[in-house]
Amino acid sequence: MASAASLSDRRMSIGRVFNRAFAALGAHAVTMFGIAFLFSALPIALLNLSQAGSGPTRDYITNASVMGGIYLASFVLTQLAQGGLVRATIAHSDHRTVSFGACVATGARYALPLLALGILLGLGLMLGFAFFIVPGILLYLAWAVAVPALVIERTGIFEAFGRSRFLTRGARWNVFGIGLVMLVLYYVLIAAVGIVTVAVTGLPVAGAGVAAFGTLSSVLTALSTTVSTAVVAAIQTSLYVELRDWKDGPQVDQLSDIFA
């Protein structure tokens, strides 16, 4: 644990967070965007297609069972993507190479714990936002690096929340700023999807126009989901590394042995 004096000699840098994240994305573009597409964007796209194809004549119980299974599979695969992307980002931070298969294996190992963590985090944030929004924001800032903490430090689910609270304490305005930038980037990406879709197909009116609009919108949404999933995971993991180095000091040797 770093002393108070050594902490005062270092500063938590937002610039380093983004530089580290985008450097990881550039160095492992095929792996990171490939994982984001296969295990996050593609399942969501298939889920949307399944919903569109479930007509009103289908048996309600059968339809609900099928959709429930698809939802669960989609959620689990999304968590697999998160774990794999954390592995790729931390490997780059440690100046190591990592294979696509190794990242997928890490994601598979932590998919269920991450699913449980995601459910608890979502319920906590939903409850917090229900109480005049501010508590939800505070919880988000405190739990911002729970996912990489669970994967990298092999903590338990509840320990990951506590570790994130410790790491973010004293830097939550910085975490808020990073979250705000990510939110703006996300909405810019969503707006770009809408603008490009309308520019290419025009406004949907009827018949073929609606079909073309829906098809192009689905393709662009899958691409935007791929980009946003990879970027958010890289930034979140980079933030974890920055906060841990700030609180505990650089731990290069430990990072090298994490996934040995």
For the entire predicted model, the pTM comes to 0.85
For the chain, the average pLDDT equals: 84
Q: What is the pLDDT of residues 148-191, one digit of tens each?
A: 999 999 989 999 999 999 999 999 999 999 999 999 988 888 88
Tokens representing 4 are 């108070």
pLDDT at 4: 45
Residues of the chain with pLDDT under 50: 1-9, 57
d(CA 201, CA 216) in angstroms, rounded, equals 8
DSSP symbols for 1-20:
---HHHHHH----HHHHHHH
User: Which amino acid is located at 154 in the chain?
Assistant: R
Q: What is the pLDDT of residues 132-146, one digit of tens each?
A: 788 899 999 999 999
How big, in percent rounded to 5, are the helix, strand and coil portions of the chain? 85, 0, 15
Decide: residue 172, CB within 10 A, 0-12 exposed, 13-18 middle, 19+ buried: middle
Contact criterion met (CB below 8 Å) for 127 and 120? no
Contact criterion met (CB below 8 Å) for 117 and 157? yes
